[in-house]
Amino acid sequence: MKLTRLSALVAATVLAAGGCSLDSTNDNADVVNVVVGYQSKTINTVTAGTLLRAQGYLEHRLGDLTAKTGKKYHVEWQDYDTGAPITAQMVAEKIDIGSMGDYPMLINGSKTQANERSRTELVAATGYDAKGSLNMVVVNPDSTAQALSDLAGQKVSASVGSAGHGTLVRALKNEGVSGVDVINQQPQIGASALESGQVKALSQFVAWPGLLVFGNKARLLYDGAELNYPTWHGTVVRRAYASAHPEVLDAFLQAQLDATDFLNTKPLEAARIVAQGSGLPQEVVYLYNGPGGTSFDTTLKPSLVQALKGDVPYLKSIGTFADLDIDGFVQDGPLRNALAARGRNYDAELARTANPSLLHGTDPVCNLPVDNPALASELWLDGANQTQPAANPTCLLKAIRAAQAKGSKVRAAYVPDAEFGTRWLADKSAWVQQGADFVPFDTIAGARRYVAAHPGTVEISYQQALAGAV
Q: What are the tens digits of pLDDT across the range 330-360?
A: 999 999 999 999 999 999 999 999 999 999 9
In the prediction, which pLDDT does 15 show? 34
In the prediction, which pLDDT does 313 show? 92
Query: Once rounded to an integer, what is the mean pLDDT over residues 292-321?
Result: 94
In the prediction, which pLDDT does 24 show? 52
Is pLDDT at 20 greater than 70 in this prediction? no
In the prediction, which pLDDT does 22 show? 38
SS3 assignment, position 134:
coil
Query: Once rounded to an integer, what is the mean pLDDT over residues 174-182?
Result: 96
Torsion, Cα of 435, 439, 444, 448 (10° steps): -40
Is pLDDT at 14 greater than 80 in this prediction? no
What would the CATH number be for the domain defined by 135-227? 3.40.190.10
Strands of the sheet containing 31-38, edge to edge, are 72-79, 31-38, 97-101, 231-238, 120-129, 295-296
Q: Nearest to residue 147, comparing CAs of 135, 158, 155, 139?
A: 139
* Run of H or E residues at 368: strand 368-369
Residues 217, 141 contacting (CB under 8 angstroms): yes
In the prediction, which pLDDT does 23 show? 46
Residues 158, 190 contacting (CB under 8 angstroms): yes
Torsion, Cα of 272, 278, 280, 281 (10° steps): 20
199/143 Cα distance (integer angstroms): 11
Q: What are the tens digits of pLDDT across the range 244-290?
A: 999 999 999 999 999 999 999 999 999 999 999 999 999 999 999 99
What would the CATH number be for the domain defined by 362-468? 3.30.450.410
Residues 200, 154 contacting (CB under 8 angstroms): yes
In the prediction, which pLDDT does 81 show? 87
pTM for the predicted model, two decimal places: 0.92
In the prediction, which pLDDT does 17 show? 36
How confident is residue 319, by pLDDT bands cut at 50, 70 and 90? Answer: confident
Q: How would DSSP label each residue in 156-209?
A: EEE-TTSHHHHHHHHHHHHTT----EEEE--HHHHHHHHHHTSSSEEEEETTHH
SS3 assignment, position 383:
coil
Residues 446, 432 contacting (CB under 8 angstroms): no
SS3 assignment, position 259:
helix
Tell me if 6-129+232-350 shares its fold with 135-227.
yes
Q: What are the tens digits of pLDDT across the range 133-149?
A: 999 999 999 999 999 99
Cβ within 8 Å of residue 2, ≥6 positions away:
181, 182
The two counts, helices (H) then strands (E), for the chain are 19, 20
How confident is residue 323, by pLDDT bands cut at 50, 70 and 90? Answer: very high
Cβ within 8 Å of residue 65, ≥6 positions away:
71, 73, 247, 251
Q: What are the tens digits of pLDDT across the range 140-174?
A: 999 999 999 999 999 999 999 889 999 999 999 99
In the prediction, which pLDDT does 30 show? 83
Helix axes 302-318, 163-174, angle to 10 degrees: 80
Q: What mean pLDDT value characterizes the chain? A: 93
Q: How far is CA 234 from CA 38, 88, 125, 256, 379, in A?
A: 11, 17, 4, 11, 30
Q: What are the tens digits of pLDDT across the range 25-67?
A: 454 668 999 999 999 999 999 999 999 999 999 999 999 999 9
- The third-level CATH classification (topology) of the domain covering 6-129+232-350 is D-Maltodextrin-Binding Protein; domain 2 (3.40.190)
Residues 373, 359 contacting (CB under 8 angstroms): yes
- The domain ranges of the chain are 6-129+232-350, 135-227, 362-468
In the prediction, which pLDDT does 318 show? 87
Is pLDDT at 111 greater than 70 in this prediction? yes
Q: What are the tens digits of pLDDT across the range 192-234?
A: 999 999 999 999 999 999 999 999 999 999 999 999 999 999 9
Q: What are the tens digits of pLDDT across the range 401-414?
A: 999 999 999 999 99
SS3 assignment, position 49:
coil
Query: What percent of the chain is predicted at pLDDT more than 90?
Result: 91
